[in-house]
Amino acid sequence: MSYRIAKGLLTIDNKSPDGDTISFFIDEEHRDEWIWPNEQSGRFPKFNKQFQANIRFEAIDALELHYQVTGVYPGVNIHQPLDLARQARDRMLTICGFDLAHVTETANLRLKDPDNQKRPATIAYREIDPYGRLVAFVFAEDMDFGVDDSHPTVFLSPKQMERSVNVQLLKEGLVYPTFYGSLYPELRLPLAKIAKQARGDKVGLWEKDVMTFTSLRKPDLSEVEDIVMLPKIFRRLSVHIARNGALSNFKSFLGETKDLTVDTRLVRLTGLKSFLSIKDDGAGQYTMKLLRNPEELVFQTS
């Protein structure tokens, strides 16, 4: 599986990373050579004036530390359980080499780093998401992939992938596995095995993860914030509730989002709503259940 390799520096001062995103300064010596668009979408990475881009970690999804609900007025910002969301963020930063002893968090969840630390990293990426973020495996070391300016790509092996920050977070159960169609089975299958092991051991968030959510027909957003669930479902459900939707018609809402998803258990392509069961108990309570483990799903859209 061919990945573009780039080297640079990770930074956190005045940034608001969570467990699966971080800011990255690309290596100045190779800026012209390393910047390439996504072959299918034609998207380019979104860089600021300091040539800094954001990375979204490949194959994992951390609990939402700060999520802005779209399509509602006034704007709504929500989160998933903050203790676990912060644990994932802080562990990710520690693995990347940051010393958090003097780092503080502001009221709006930005980090202040008086030491202005910049940690070297190697990234392997092949996708750019709709927000211009590099979707990458992140290595907190100077990985020798044997690339150069004329051959900047490498076929990333499962053995190489295991050295990534992504895999370490997955092993520790601090993030959910979240796979997209661009991730080849050669890498996806080992990641699914790691996630299954972490869930079986009930480490990290898996101790509190819920496959089943029971509430009134119209739950409050604050109620959803307390639930440890797959972030993709959380984001969709939060938007639906904020728009005055109810659990009873959440599957209809999902049908409108066109979230095409591959069911690897039955090897079929269908909508995300197919993997949810929502039942009325007849007494005003509704129960929503996820019918597949997260590592059994492959999403086609972000």
**Model confidence over 146-157: pLDDT tens digits?**
887 777 889 999
Identify the pLDDT of residue 41: 62
What is the C-alpha separation between 184 and 126, in angstroms, rounded? Answer: 11
Q: Which CATH class is domain 2-157?
A: mainly beta
Q: Scan for tokens 């938007």, then name that residue.
A: 239
CA distance readout (Å), 19 to 96, 146, 156, 202, 214: 11, 29, 23, 19, 27
Say yes or no to pLDDT of 110 above 90. yes
Q: Take residue 10 and report the two structure tokens written for it.
A: 């990770």
Q: Residue type for 34, please?
A: W
**Mean pLDDT, to the nearest integer, of 157-163?**
96
CB 270 within 8 A of CB 260: yes
pTM of the model: 0.94
Count of beta carbons in the 10 Å neighbourhood of residue 59: 26
Helix locations, the chain, DSSP H: 31-34, 82-95, 158-161, 165-171, 185-201, 221-225, 231-242, 250-257
**Tens digits of per-residue pLDDT, 176-190?**
999 999 999 999 999
CB 228 within 8 A of CB 236: no
Per domain, the residue ranges of the chain are 2-157, 210-299
Q: Scan for tokens 């053995």, then name that residue.
A: 159
CB 281 within 8 A of CB 217: no
